[in-house]
Amino acid sequence: MHSSVGHWLILALPVAVVLFYAAMALLDRRRAPGARPVSFVQRNGIAVSTYLVVAVGVWTVLLIVLPQLYMIDLSFRPRLPPTQMGGPNDVYTLENYRFFLYGSTRSTAAWNTIHLKAFALTILASVAITFLNLLLCYPIAFYMAKAASTTRMRLLMLMLIAPYWVNEILRAFAIRVLLASSGVVNQALMGLGLVSEPVDFLGLDLGLYAGLSYAYLLMMVFPLYNAIESLDRNQIEAARDLGGPWWHIHLFVVVPHAKPGIASGCTLVFMLTAGALAAPQILGGPRTLWFTPIVYDRFYQAFNWPQGAAYAFLLLVACIVFVLATMRVCRLSLGEITR
Amino acid sequence: MTSAVELDHVTVRFGAFTAVQDATLSIEAGEFFSFLGPSGCGKTTLLRTISGFIEPSEGQVRIGGTDMRGLGPNRRPTALIFQNLALFPMMSVAENIAYGLRVRGVSRSARREVAERLLDLIALPGHADKRVDELSGGQKQRVAIARALAVEPKVLLLDEPLSALDLKLRQHMRNELRAIQRRVGITFIYITHDQGEALAMSDRIAVMNRGVIEQVADGRTLYEAPRTAFVASFVGENNAFVGTVAEADRDRALVTTAAGPLSGRNLRNLMRTSEAVLFVRPEAVVLGEGPLTGRATEVAYEGILTHATFELDGGGRMTATIPRGAPVPKPGAAVRLGYDPADALVLPREGFAHA
Ligand SMILES: Nc1ncnc2c1ncn2[C@@H]1O[C@H](COP(=O)(O)OP(=O)(O)OP(=O)(O)O)[C@@H](O)[C@H]1O
Ligand SMILES: [Mg+2]
């Protein structure tokens, strides 16, 4: 009985919300149309306002802020058996972060090269993958937004979306199958006589990068599409009429206009790639360590939650700092991204 | 006089739909030439054909005597000003103006110089570093012109550039445009559905209807000697009487209409029994005598003129403009109406929509 509470909740909640909306619609119809409302509460009615405030509040506080704060707090505590938690030994410490740097909670003699390397690789590779994604998606998004007919656009959109109905793990395995030593790609290459021995795509990390690039493609296409779509076609034509070659028009007319979309696409893809778990676990070569599996291992292999929290927090901070810095360089504000 | 732009039997089709049909005309260098026509008659299509965004399905566009076939808009000596201007919002005013030069690899300082010079020309000195959205409607308008002029086109194409402005500004910009054209001396091809605009600015006007150029002439000729019923009804106000030619000679034609037999000039040499429309301008209508009788339904005093509308006894209506000082009919009063047949025109009915 106890275990099924969650199931009931997940089924009943949507029903409750629908009923709530219906009740509000009824309430709304009864109310006589009066003078123009002004404040947030007046504009939306008490019911809607309460709902918005409570829903958003619960969402941000309960589901985002509190757990994160708990994790951050945890990351500054030593690893203790449950009985000692809250006891005299449960003090704030930097030992988890020290471990990340030196591979030991006490000695600072040697660097923790494995983890540091994985961390750097994750950030750098995510940057590269984000950039590659941008280059791949820009022409697609531009074509969909400005060149394609409506039918062709819909078809393309469907073709982009449909593969994402397949779940992430299956997609990663599919790439693994494709690129394995006896996979389709290798067989084709050998059949054509281009190589004599199978290429170890997975060992070379090509599989990993291909999988990661593919995993979040849509996150790049859609913001780009939205941004380019809103560009007045006449501006492109005006630039062309004034003699602009195509690359110049893209670089100086389309891209500046699409900058918020580019930024939001890049941010999304970068964050998701750096935090990806399935693709690195499935496609990672034997010698490559992506940072997220390490974090995962801290929690579940080493059973060291404080250390896992510290690692996860480090990754988060690094990503945020990186994104903010990039936006600063591109002279973009956070508000523009969400336009 | 050399021809700046020649259209040689140009036809443009979109699928089965013909947007421009067999347009042939020649626009002279330095001319202010307008295309006038109702919405959807193919004006923009024709302009885009001249600028190179559309290839004609048939016929030839020649600019400066050279066939333009296969040359894209970036390789034609034309510059287009869009209906919505299409300034680049992320560039400053000066950068907008100099965009065409930047594309051509002109140095930064030279670009700046040209931008400043053009800003003087359009009477906006000191606005170089403003953002485009800080400008007023009329200022944006002028910046768009400067941006087009910067590439030194032989022909400037303007697609209803004043339609977004309010009335006052529109009238001011008419003069401004004309003045700029005189100063730079290049050919302007101007599109509008506003006849007042076309008449006020243009050296010559082509009147278009449903993809067909009906008449090319200066404003006075269009008003006083329209060749077709469409031009007569579209340019200026006109009273139209549909009927059949009963008698005709070289100068005069007598048309049997619902309001009775009416006669007018037979400029198109119509024969007996042809379908025709007789046109009388409101200012040519004479009150108090004549072959028509009617009742005043509306009398609107407009200062220098009074506008009167009459319900005719034989059916149909007629408007008259009465100059200041002349007697004005009372609403509802029966009046005799007439005109001097030398002021009336008999034209073929073909292409005349409303009866
Ligand atoms: N790309 C196109 N495909 C199909 N039909 C088109 C296309 N462009 C224009 N048309 C059609 O051609 C006709 C003429 O259009 P055009 O834009 O030239 O009119 P216009 O005279 O400029 O009208 P307006 O004064 O409203 O701007 C219209 O009936 C329009 O529907
Ligand atoms: Mg148009």
A250-298: per-residue pLDDT in tens?
A: 999 999 999 889 988 999 999 999 998 888 888 876 667 788 888 888 8
Query: Can you tell me whether residue B285 is helix, strand or coil?
Result: strand
- Look at residue A37 in the predicted model and tell me its pLDDT: 53
The ipTM is: 0.81
* Interface touch B79/A245, C-beta < 8 Å: no
Interface check for A240 against chain B (CB to CB < 8 A): the answer is yes
| DSSP class per residue in B49-109 | HHHTSS--SEEEEEETTEE-TT--GGGSSEEEEBTTB---TTSBHHHHHTHHHHHTT--HH
Contacts of A248 in chain B (CB under 8 A): 103
Q: CA of B78, closest CA in chain A: separation in Å? A: 8
Hey, which residues does B320 pair with through a beta bridge? Answer: B308
Is 70 exceeded by the pLDDT of residue A336? no
- The CB density around residue A212, as the number of other CB atoms within 10 Å, is 30
Residues 6+ apart with CB under 8 A from A256: B90
Contacts of B143 in chain A (CB under 8 A): none
Q: Provide the residue type at A295 as one letter.
A: V
Between CA B146 and CA B93 the distance in angstroms is: 10
Query: How high is the mean pLDDT in each 10-residue block of chain B (355 residues)?
Result: 85 94 93 93 93 93 90 90 90 93 91 91 87 89 91 91 81 86 91 90 94 93 93 92 91 90 91 92 89 89 88 87 85 89 91 67
- Token pair recorded at residue A142: 């531009």
Give the relative orientation of helices A206-215 and A255-274 as an angle to the nearest 10 degrees: 120
Contacts of A244 in chain B (CB under 8 A): 74, 99-100, 103
- Look at residue B207 in the predicted model and tell me its pLDDT: 95
End-to-end CA distance of chain A: 46
Nearest to B84 among A234, A240, A257 (CB): A234
Q: Provide the residue type at B269 as one letter.
A: N
Contacts of A235 in chain B (CB under 8 A): 86, 88
Interface check for A336 against chain B (CB to CB < 8 A): the answer is no
Contacts of B87 in chain A (CB under 8 A): 238
Residues 6+ apart with CB under 8 A from B49: B10, B12, B20, B55, B56, B61
Q: Does domain B5-224 have CATH number 1.10.420.10?
A: no
- Token pair recorded at residue B231: 């031009």
- Look at residue A32 in the predicted model and tell me its pLDDT: 56
Nearest to A237 among B53, B99, B104 (CB): B53
End-to-end CA distance of chain B: 42
pLDDT (average), residues A12-31:
80
Instruction: Name the A residues in 176-235 with CB < 8 Å from any B CB.
Output: 232, 234-235
Nearest to B201 by CA among B250, B161, B251, B252: B161
Nearest CA in chain B to A251: B103
Sole residue written with tokens 């100099």: B98
Instruction: Find which of A233, A242, A250 to mutate to test the B interface (most B CBs within 10 Å of its CB).
Output: A242
- Look at residue B62 in the predicted model and tell me its pLDDT: 93
Is 80 exceeded by the pLDDT of residue A45? no
- Look at residue A33 in the predicted model and tell me its pLDDT: 59
State the distance from the centre of ligand 2 to the C-alpha of B86, rounded, in angstroms: 14
User: Which of B11, B18, B45, B55 has most ligand 1 atoms within 8 Å of CB, for mutation?
Assistant: B45
* Interface touch A241/B74, C-beta < 8 Å: yes
* Interface touch B103/A248, C-beta < 8 Å: yes
Q: Domain map of chain B by residue range? A: 5-224, 229-348
- Token pair recorded at residue A286: 């034997």
Q: How confident is the model at residue A68 (pLDDT cuts 50, 70, 90)?
A: confident
Higher pLDDT: A202 or A236? It is A236
Q: Domain map of chain A by residue range? A: 2-93, 113-337
CB of B206 closer than 8 Å to CB of B25: yes
Closest residue CA from atom 5 of ligand 1: B14
Interface check for B99 against chain A (CB to CB < 8 A): the answer is yes
Radius of gyration of chain B (CA): 24
Q: What is the mean pLDDT of chain A?
A: 84
User: Which of B10, B12, B14 has most ligand 1 atoms within 8 Å of CB, for mutation?
Assistant: B14
Higher pLDDT: A11 or B213? It is B213
Ligand 1 lined by B14 (C-beta under 6 Å): yes
Between CA A72 and CA A65 the distance in angstroms is: 10
Kind of pairing, strands B78-81 and B66-67? unpaired
Contacts of B86 in chain A (CB under 8 A): 232, 234-235, 237-238
Interface check for B334 against chain A (CB to CB < 8 A): the answer is no
Between CA B75 and CA B154 the distance in angstroms is: 12
Interface check for B195 against chain A (CB to CB < 8 A): the answer is no
Q: What is the CATH number assigned to the segment(s) A113-337?
A: 1.10.3720.10
Spell out the long-range contacts of B320-327 with Cβ–Cβ below 8 A and sequence spacing 24 or more. Answer: B320/B282, B320/B283, B320/B285, B320/B287, B321/B282, B321/B283, B321/B285, B322/B287, B326/B287, B327/B287, B327/B288
Nearest to A242 among B72, B84, B99 (CB): B99
Residues 6+ apart with CB under 8 A from B348: B228, B229, B268, B270, B274, B275, B276, B277
Contacts of B72 in chain A (CB under 8 A): 240
Nearest to B79 among A232, A242, A245 (CB): A242
- Token pair recorded at residue B148: 């087009």
CB-facing half-sphere around the CA of B256: CA atoms within 13 A: 8
CB of A168 closer than 8 Å to CB of A217: no
Between CA B44 and CA B324 the distance in angstroms is: 41
Q: Does domain B229-348 have CATH number 3.30.830.10?
A: no
Is 70 exceeded by the pLDDT of residue A306? yes
- Look at residue A337 in the predicted model and tell me its pLDDT: 62
CB of B67 closer than 8 Å to CB of B6: no
Ligand 1 lined by B314 (C-beta under 6 Å): no
H or E segment and range at residue B192:
strand B187-192
CB of B61 closer than 8 Å to CB of B35: no
Residues 6+ apart with CB under 8 A from A20: A51
- Look at residue B51 in the predicted model and tell me its pLDDT: 93
Closest residue CA from atom 23 of ligand 1: B40
- Look at residue B354 in the predicted model and tell me its pLDDT: 59
Is 60 exceeded by the pLDDT of residue A2? no
Nearest to A242 among B83, B84, B100 (CB): B100
Higher pLDDT: A315 or A195? It is A315
Handedness of CA A191, A195, A196, A200 (dihedral sign): negative
Between CA B324 and CA B343 the distance in angstroms is: 20
* Interface touch A243/B88, C-beta < 8 Å: no
Instruction: Name the A residues in 243-262 with CB < 8 Å from any B CB.
Output: 243-245, 248, 252-253, 256-257
Burial class (CB in 10 A: 0-12, 13-18, 19+), A287: exposed
Closest residue CA from atom 18 of ligand 1: B42
- Token pair recorded at residue B185: 């001396």
Nearest to B78 by CA among B117, B123, B115, B33: B33
Cα-to-chain-centroid distance, residue B146: 23
